[in-house]
Amino acid sequence: MKIKEINNSVILEDVKCFDPFLTLDCGQTFRFKKTSENSIHGVAGNKVLDLTVENGKFIFHNTTSEDFNSFWFPYFDFGRDYENIIASFDDKYLKKACEQYYGIRIVKQDMWEALCSFIISQNNNIPRIKGIIERLCENFGEKISGNDYAFPTPEKIAGLTEKDLSVLRAGFRNKYILDAAEKTASKKINPEIIENADIEEARRALMEIKGVGPKVAECVLLYGAGRVDAFPVDVWVKRICAELYPDGLPECMKGVRGIAQQYLFHWRRNIDQ
DNA sequence: AGCCAGGGTCTGC
DNA sequence: GCAGACCATGGC
């Protein structure tokens, strides 16, 4: 990958396995919109992304190379060799999913943002999840510029009541959001443990939060802690397991089950029935 | 109109 | 330990 900084933009060339449209719209993250045939706009944390793809080059507008290196490079997991991982998949369904949705990467989100987002995701559909998160940021996040708002801090949310959160129209999830914010702001959830401790211990710690069960915990581990072996099982992945892998997951997924899961999830969700 | 959604909790066996 | 009711809301 070549990185150049020109006119307050960062331009990437020779990037392998990166489709930002797929990556940012495959159920990992909920704050990005395709704004034209070749550009995308959104916010992660408190950083605005304005990305255009031209002739295989990726242009990060209004971005310094320092911002790119410290934020977007880890965010898009550019330090990981997806080509090599995909090449190691010798399962026919997984190969098909990777071929059809080539360029999906696992994004590394802020842990609190992932936690809050996936609490909101429970028993919910993606269009509505996006709406709730948009209202969350507009009502309680700091304005960055234009219509872009930062994801609200856990401290800010922890100081609110369920009634305050009713503007979100998130229903029963409001109390879960508050508990997650309180446990994050008070450091009762220790990021060090979630990222580095034995994964079973990290799971248990996350599930002490009200409204966090196995699925949400797994999503936080995968998208908010960089644990690429975490394996979130929602209704779609459940279908995949029942229909394609009744005797268990193939060996080639070992260690990177979360990455495999992302391709399979998006593939299965885009097939009727 | 009714089923479903990137689920989890609580209760009752 | 496991099934089943229930949870708010709105997309389709």
- Which positions ≥6 away from A70 have C-beta within 8 Å? none
**Marked catalytic residue, from A47, A108, A130, A215:** A215
Q: Which nucleotide is nearest to A218 (CA to C1')?
A: B6
Euclidean distance between CA atoms A107 and A109, whole angstroms: 6
- At A6-28, the pLDDT tens digits run 999 999 999 999 999 999 999 99
Q: Provide the pLDDT for residue A271.
A: 87
Structure tokens at A31: 């704050």
**Does residue A254 carry a catalytic annotation?**
no
Q: Provide the pLDDT for residue A273.
A: 52
Q: How far is the CA of A27 from the C1' of B3 (A)?
A: 21
A237-264 b/e (C-beta count within 10 Å ≥ 16 → b): bebbeeeeeeeebbebbeebbbbbbbbb
Q: Are A217 and A205 in contact (CB under 8 A)?
A: no
Q: Provide the pLDDT for residue A272.
A: 61
Q: Provide the pLDDT for residue A27.
A: 97
- Residues in chain A predicted with pLDDT less than 70, given as ranges, are 272-273
| Protein contacts of strand B with Cβ less than 7 Å away | A 26-28, 118, 121-126, 128-129, 172, 207, 210-217, 219, 232-237, 261-262, 265, 269
